[in-house]
Amino acid sequence: MRRRGAGHGWGWWLPQIALLLALAGLVLVVARTVSDNMERQDMVLSLGFLRSTAEFPIAESFLAYAPGDTIAWAFVVGLGNSIALTLLIIVLSTMAGVPVALARHSGHMLARTLAGGFVDLVRNVPLVVQLLFWYGVILMAFPPARAAAQPLPGLFLTNRGITVTTVGITGTALPMIATVMGGLTLTLVAAWRGRLHQASLYTLGTIVAGSVLWVVLDLGLARDVPHFDRFNFSGGLTLTPEFVAVVWGSVIYASAFAAEILRSGLDGVPRGQWEASRALGLSKRQSLRLVIVPQALRMIVPPMNSQFITILKNSTLALVVGYPDLNFVANTAINHTGQGLEGVAILMLVFFTLASAISLAMNRLNARVQRAGA
């Protein structure tokens, strides 16, 4: 559509100058109105409120928080919850999507029909409705704490959440943990670069070093079994009903979308590719690994990018069941301080940054996938 040739005429410049002027005018009018309104309500534009103490509680968080911390820290805690929630849902829903996609792909009539029904059902009901439904199911169907259901030893289901036994390491474990983490990082980096042999050597090394340190440092394991005293469980790790409802509901919802993306990726590889690679003498596993999956990935990664951003955006729905994500914290902070404009600006900036970060990571993955074997 671009016109060739040197220089542009007035027909090219004028409309653009007009738009620029109109935008500038709009910004001016909005700024005037906002500052007038703020003056009338004695509001001052300032980020100083971030340093004041937050008087409100945050029901649960991954980072330590108590009322009396600064508002800035409350925002960070909310952000931590949002990021943890998003990552958890991304990983779990992608994993859960694989069996659903395979079932929809399979020759097994019953499995295919069930998986198809699942996907249709889940995708056509709003996520909020599903979250509230699962939250209601946990509150209604799970027994009270004194009559906790115990489907597996050490795992308790109650209407106050899911309590599990945790296993902790006793002794000075830091050197061992650091070594294992370092080894895992090396392994992942090698695997990412496609050096599978090197990666397996690193894995072996990590296991050996870890075990040696375990013996040398004289470490042990201790179980923290939850026990019921009077009103509630103590000990172990308790996942609240809100957290369980958000993660479970979102994972079910997102897995249906992930399954569709995975399936269309698999369907997108022509049948001839299967037949040709089998005819070349590759085994079933080899053709899957070397021929089908690399081609399917090229079709899977781009839509997965938008899917992950959708998961990030949908994590804000956690607030309908009362799980304190960033949106929830910002909402509370604004209600307490009245600094609406600043709070909203921070919120928008953070979500834009997070969405861009996901896009950036997925674009790098995409570049790799598109390049491989091309």
CA 331 to chain centre: 21
Q: Which residue among 96, 128, 180, 219 contacts another protein (CB under 8 A)?
A: 128
Entry field: residues in the chain: 374
- Residue 340 touching another protein (CB under 8 A): yes
Q: Which residues, numbered 347-366, are part of the site for another protein (CB under 8 A)?
A: 347-348, 351-352, 355-356
Dihedral angle at the C-alpha atoms of 228, 232, 236, 238, nearest 10 degrees? 150
Helix (H, G, I), strand (E, B) or coil at 107: coil
| CB of 86 vs another protein, minimal distance in Å | 11
User: 277, 295, 327, 366: which one contacts another protein (CB under 8 A)?
Assistant: 327
CA distances to 82, 244, 248 from 138, in Å: 22, 9, 11
23 interacts with another protein by CB under 8 A: yes
Dihedral sign from CA coordinates of 24, 29, 32, 33: negative
Q: Which of residues 297-326 bind another protein (CB under 8 A)?
A: 309, 312-317, 319-320
The reply on whether position 24 binds another protein by CB under 8 A is no
289 is a contact residue toward another protein (CB under 8 A): no
Quick one: CA torsion of 128, 340, 335, 47, rounded to 10 degrees? 120
**76 part of the interface to another protein, by CB under 8 A:** no
CA neighbours closer than 13 Å in the CB half-sphere of residue 118 = 22
Residue found by looking up tokens 């059902």 in the block: 121
- Asked if 341 is part of the footprint of another protein (rule: CB under 8 A), the reply reads yes
Closer CB to another protein, 188 or 345, in the complex: 345
Give the dihedral sign, CA 280/284/290/292. positive
Which of the residues 104 through 123 are near another protein (CB under 8 A)? 106-111, 114, 120-121, 123
Q: Token pair 């399936």 is at which residue?
A: 263
Whether the Cβ atoms of residue 266 and residue 101 lie closer than 8 Å to each other: yes
What mask of x and - would describe binding to another protein in positions 133 to 152, judged by CB under 8 A?
Answer: x-xxx-xxx-----------
d(CA 13, CA 23): 16
Residue 283 corresponds to which tokens in the numbers above? 């085994």
Q: Does position 33 bind another protein by CB under 8 A?
A: yes
Tell me whether residue 61 or residue 316 sits nearer to another protein (CB atom). Answer: 316
Residues that bind another protein (CB under 8 A): 1-3, 12, 15-16, 19-20, 23, 30, 33-34, 36-38, 40, 106-111, 114, 120-121, 123-130, 132-133, 135-137, 139-141, 309, 312-317, 319-320, 327, 330-331, 334, 340-341, 343-344, 347-348, 351-352, 355-356
